[in-house]
């Protein structure tokens, strides 16, 4: 029998080696491919020379295709670098992109000369079918592969969507194929050996700003309790994990479905972190909250987004501002730190909404000071004309820049990799922000971050955080956020880490 064909799976650099987490996307693809193909994982977060390694690997022959996982923002820049280098070394090797970027921007992806195929949404089955078509060697175009975008002459072709699949929940991730799995366990406030993990697939909600909504189109599936128990057992016993960060888009869903999973977590009592919705937390029964406490949920990330119910309605969030307070209250009662994220400066009313959000944050800090706050700019992403998220498409159509001209999104991956668009993708800037507003947001974020240093930063010394708190106190108290030069200078000395960039 002939050897299975090799497929190189690349996770381009997105974070420092120290903050590298299990590259779940390529692990999940590897689990699906094993048996029919021989997957080889190359992680750019670990191998800081991953472009050269990839070029050598492809240069030595035998690679049937290269799969690259790509998130917009900084990872796009490293994905372009590695794809371009591979194309130059071995132009005959097909390059396939999958992940959040090609799902949201398939057209820009296949408009780029170093990408042959864009896999939209879940990738396992689509990639397998594509690989089968590629390795069969025929000259037929891959018209039958659902979820695939490709180029025919000058046109981008988008094959029909693939149905949501829960098959990945039956597969175990091949952690042991990673070079030294232990190096993915990082020191966080959850534990000295924290792992990133995803239990459920998808999300039922379709918020207009969220990439996950484009990826899963309102579908989701939970794992069985047995599956969760098996995975947590493996992570704890085999790898020595003592803290878990759940990447599930929305961990707390229907209470009745969650109960068995909470029982498993209460058994392990590994400190954990997750994403949650305020309405779900506010409505959780006391019995479930007791399990939450027993399981040692340390912090939960709640998309509060805005103090304005009209905006929450516009972005299809499905929650209200009063539920934000109800969720904080429940978290306080059961010893969980609420971590709230906000989206400032929406195009409908950038200045007004920003000021209202500042006041709302101050109110929350008075109500429950340990609440953590994450500040982002509201930056909706483009949607395809045939996308099922019509509300998001309508919103994207109304975007205007500072001079009132329509916002023109980039048309290629290279354009998306320009610094201004990387900042847009990272929710740090938007074309409709005036210079004054941009400054004000940066200044407020600086004052708030110094007045309330995050507990997620386990590296900054205690004295340093106390010094920043003291220095920022008067500015915060009197709302004098303008040009906090002394805080900027001190923050450079006592370098705090930014969980928006580095995660926990
Ligand atoms: C972990 C994570 C990170 C980690 C990355 C860790 C790593 N890769 O080593 C860190 C913390 C660094 C990170 C950073 C950012 N992230 Co992030 N991150 C996630 C998170 C929580 C989980 C991703 C994950 O591992 N999922 C599990 C795997 C199995 O699923 P998957 O990646 O979707 O992969 C499937 C498919 O996409 C597809 N697929 C993926 N890759 C490939 C490749 C091929 C070849 C194929 C065929 C298929 C394929 O198949 C896979 C299996 O079905 C998601 C939210 C979420 N729950 O998905 C956000 C998310 C991906 N991040 C997002 C964003 C925007 C960012 C940032 C760019 C900005 C920000 N502030 O959040 C930053 C950049 C920070 C910076 N450096 O400045 C967005 C992307 C949205 C979008 N529209 O593109 C998400 C969806 C969050 C959200 N709700 O908006 N992130």
**SS3 letters across 197-241:** ECCCEECCCCCCCCHHHHHHCCCEECCCHHHHHHHHHHHHHHHCC
Task: Express each pLDDT in 232-274 by its tens digit.
Answer: 999 999 999 999 999 998 888 889 999 999 999 999 999 999 9
Going by CA atoms, what residue is nearest to atom 19 of ligand 1? 247
Half-sphere exposure of 33 (CA within 13 A, CB side): 28
State residue 184's pLDDT score.
97
Mutate to test the pocket of ligand 1, among 8, 20, 50, 100 (most ligand atoms within 8 A of CB): 100
| Structural contact between residues 257 and 222, judged by C-beta atoms closer than 8 angstroms | yes
State residue 413's pLDDT score.
97
Pocket residues: Cβ below 6 A from ligand 1: 11, 14-15, 20-21, 23-25, 28-29, 45, 67-69, 71-74, 96, 98-101, 104, 119, 122-124, 127, 196, 198, 210-212, 247, 249, 381, 425-427, 500-501, 503
Q: Which residue has the higher pLDDT, 382 or 346?
A: 346
Average pLDDT over residues 1-10: 84
> Ligand 1 center to residue 362 CA distance, Å?
31
In terms of Cα–Cα distance, which of 34, 46, 35, 36 is closest to 10?
46
pTM score of the predicted model:
0.95
State residue 402's pLDDT score.
85
> Ligand 1 center to residue 70 CA distance, Å?
8
> Ligand 1 center to residue 496 CA distance, Å?
23
State residue 336's pLDDT score.
97
State the alpha helices, DSSP H only, in 341-457. 350-367, 390-397, 413-416, 419-425, 435-451
| Structural contact between residues 116 and 150, judged by C-beta atoms closer than 8 angstroms | yes
The rounded mean pLDDT for the chain is 93
Mutate to test the pocket of ligand 1, among 67, 71, 103, 430 (most ligand atoms within 8 A of CB): 71
**Which of 202-216, 337-351, 372-386 is the most confident on average?**
337-351
Q: Is the pLDDT of residue 4 over 90?
A: no
Q: Is the pLDDT of residue 394 over 80?
A: no
> Ligand 1 center to residue 100 CA distance, Å?
6
Going by CA atoms, what residue is nearest to atom 49 of ligand 1? 98
Task: Express each pLDDT in 398-452 by its tens digit.
Answer: 788 888 889 999 999 999 999 999 999 999 999 999 999 999 999 999 999 999 9
The atom number, within ligand 1, closest to the CA of 70 reads 41
> Ligand 1 center to residue 228 CA distance, Å?
21
State residue 137's pLDDT score.
81
Q: Is the pLDDT of residue 391 over 70?
A: no
State residue 404's pLDDT score.
87
State residue 392's pLDDT score.
61
Going by CA atoms, what residue is nearest to atom 69 of ligand 1? 426
Going by CA atoms, what residue is nearest to atom 77 of ligand 1? 501
Average pLDDT over residues 292-297: 97
Q: Which two tokens stand for residue 496?
A: 């705090």
Q: How confident is the model at residue 385 (pLDDT cuts 50, 70, 90)?
A: low
Hey, is 225 helix, strand or coil? helix
How far apart CA 384 and CA 392 sit, in angstroms, is: 10
State residue 499's pLDDT score.
67
Cβ contacts of 286 within 8 Å, gap of 6 or more: none
Q: Which two tokens stand for residue 459?
A: 């590296």
How far apart CA 259 and CA 253 sit, in angstroms, is: 10
Average pLDDT over residues 8-17: 96
Q: Where are the beta strands (DSSP E) in 5-59?
A: 5-11, 37-43
Handedness of CA 113, 114, 119, 120 (dihedral sign): negative
Hey, is 254 helix, strand or coil? coil
State residue 381's pLDDT score.
84
Q: Is the pLDDT of residue 29 over 60?
A: yes
Going by CA atoms, what residue is nearest to atom 78 of ligand 1? 501
In terms of Cα–Cα distance, which of 162, 213, 192 is closest to 381?
213
Domains annotated on the chain, with CATH: 5-158 (3.40.50.2300), 185-385 (3.20.20.70)
State residue 85's pLDDT score.
98
Q: Is the pLDDT of residue 211 over 90?
A: no
Residue owning tokens 């006391």 = 286
Average pLDDT over residues 355-375: 97
Q: Is the pLDDT of residue 35 over 70?
A: yes
State residue 250's pLDDT score.
84
Element (H, E) at 194: strand 191-197
> Ligand 1 center to residue 28 CA distance, Å?
13
Rounded to 10°, the helix 485-493/462-478 angle is 170
- 148-152 and 191-197 beta bridge pairing: unpaired
């Amino acid at each position: 029998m002939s050897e299975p064909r090799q497929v190189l799976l690349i996770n381009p650099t997105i974070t420092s080696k120290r903050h590298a987490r299990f590259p779940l996307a390529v692990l999940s693809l590897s689990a699906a491919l094993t048996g029919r193909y021989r997957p080889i994982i190359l992680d750019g977060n670990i191998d800081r020379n991953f472009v050269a390694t990839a070029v050598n690997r492809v240069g030595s022959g035998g690679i049937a295709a290269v799969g690259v996982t790509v998130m917009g923002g900084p990872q796009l820049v490293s994905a372009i670098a590695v794809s371009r280098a591979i194309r130059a070394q071995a132009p005959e090797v097909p390059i396939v992109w999958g992940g959040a970027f090609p799902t949201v921007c398939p057209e820009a992806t296949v408009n780029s000369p170093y990408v042959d195929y864009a896999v939209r949404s879940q990738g396992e089955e689509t990639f397998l079918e594509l690989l089968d078509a590629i390795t069969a060697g025929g000259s037929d175009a891959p018209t039958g592969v659902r979820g695939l975008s490709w180029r025919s002459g000058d046109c981008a072709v988008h094959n029909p969507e693939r149905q949501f699949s829960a098959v990945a929940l039956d597969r175990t991730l091949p952690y042991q194929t990673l070079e030294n799995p232990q190096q993915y366990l990082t020191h966080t406030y959850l534990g000295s050996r924290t792992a990133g993990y995803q239990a459920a697939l998808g999300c039922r909600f379709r918020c207009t700003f969220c990439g996950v909504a484009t990826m899963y189109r309102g579908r989701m599936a939970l794992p069985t309790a047995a599956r969760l128990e098996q995975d947590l057992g493996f992570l704890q016993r085999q790898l020595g994990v003592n803290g878990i960060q759940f990447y599930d888009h929305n961990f707390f869903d229907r209470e009745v479905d969650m109960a068995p999973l909470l029982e498993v977590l209460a058994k392990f009592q590994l400190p954990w972190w997750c994403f949650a919705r305020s309405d779900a937390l506010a409505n959780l029964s006391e019995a479930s909250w007791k399990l939450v406490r027993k399981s040692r949920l340390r912090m939960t990330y709640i998309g509060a987004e805005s103090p304005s119910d009209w905006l929450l309605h516009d972005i299809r969030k499905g929650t209200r501002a009063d539920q934000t307070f109800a969720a904080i209250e429940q978290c306080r009662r059961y010893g969980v730190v609420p971590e709230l994220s906000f989206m400032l400066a929406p195009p409908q009313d950038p200045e007004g909404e920003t000021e209202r959000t500042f006041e709302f944050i101050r109110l929350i800090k008075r109500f429950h000071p340990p609440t953590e706050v994450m500040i982002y700019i509201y930056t909706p992403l483009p949607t395809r004309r045939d996308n099922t998220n019509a509300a998001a498409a309508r919103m994207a159509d109304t975007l205007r820049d500072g001079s009132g001209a329509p916002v023109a999104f980039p048309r290629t991956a290279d354009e998306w990799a320009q610094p201004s668009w990387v900042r847009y993708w990272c929710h740090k800037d938007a074309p409709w922000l005036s210079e004054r507003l941009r400054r004000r947001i940066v200044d407020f974020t600086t004052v708030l971050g110094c007045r309330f240093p995050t507990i997620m930063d386990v590296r900054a010394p205690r004295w340093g955080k106390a010094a920043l708190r003291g220095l920022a106190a008067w500015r915060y108290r009197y709302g004098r956020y303008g040009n906090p030069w002394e805080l900027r200078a001190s923050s450079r000395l006592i370098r705090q880490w930014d969980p928006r960039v580095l995660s926990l």
